Homo-oligomer: A and B are copies of this chain.
């Protein structure tokens, strides 16, 4: 399965590709036969399109989206992390190793990292951030609601 170069031009998608991706985004476990009906192709063609989208790296993977609340994570926070001088790599390692940080980006500007943190309670915030504050300044915002939950970007 030939891997696409990171620098290559965008993969062009047709209407059927877009419909297929939308159907898979809704429920990735739908049988190929059902997907085929939805996009108006035969099952073999549909299966081949899915394989093609995977080998072109348009589809990274099929995965499961969990509900943080059902798992007892009653709070979410967005934490901005600004490492103290000389602590950049250590801070990155610390963030990686704390599993409650479910997402973390290194960004331009004053705050070096922006991270999403899942919490069982507000008390847990201090507990977790204490592992970071020896090496970085942090600034925490508690999530009150999520007007846009993770969604697909525009496909065309």
Q: Do B105 and A145 touch across chains, with their CB atoms under 8 A apart?
A: yes
Interface pair B103/A150, CB less than 8 Å apart: yes
Checking B65, B76, B153 against A61 with a beta-carbon cut-off of 8 angstroms, the contacting residue is B65
The answer to whether the Cβ of A29 comes within 8 Å of any Cβ in the partner chain is yes
| Interchain CA distance A118-B10 in the complex, whole Å | 14
- Report the interface size class on chain A: 35 or more
Interface residues of A in 134-156 (CB under 8 A from B): 141-155
Chain B residue, CB-CB nearest to A59: B64
Asked if residues A154 and B66 are in contact (CB atoms below 8 Å), the reply is no
Q: In the assembled complex, how far is the CB of residue A11 from the closest CB belonging to chain B, in whole angstroms? A: 5
**CB proximity of A64 to chain B, nearest CB, Å:** 4
Each complex incorporates copies of this chain amounting to 2
Alpha-carbon distance A41/B49, docked complex (angstroms): 32
Q: Which A3-26 residues have C-beta < 8 A from chain B? A: 4, 6, 8-11, 13, 21, 24-26
B154 near A100: Cβ-Cβ < 8 Å: yes
The 8 Å CB contact of A70, one of B58, B67, B141, B149, is B58
B78 pairs with A147, CB closer than 8 A = no
Binding site for B on A (CB under 8 A): 4, 6, 8-11, 13, 21, 24-29, 56-73, 76, 78, 92, 95-96, 99-109, 111, 113-115, 118, 141-155
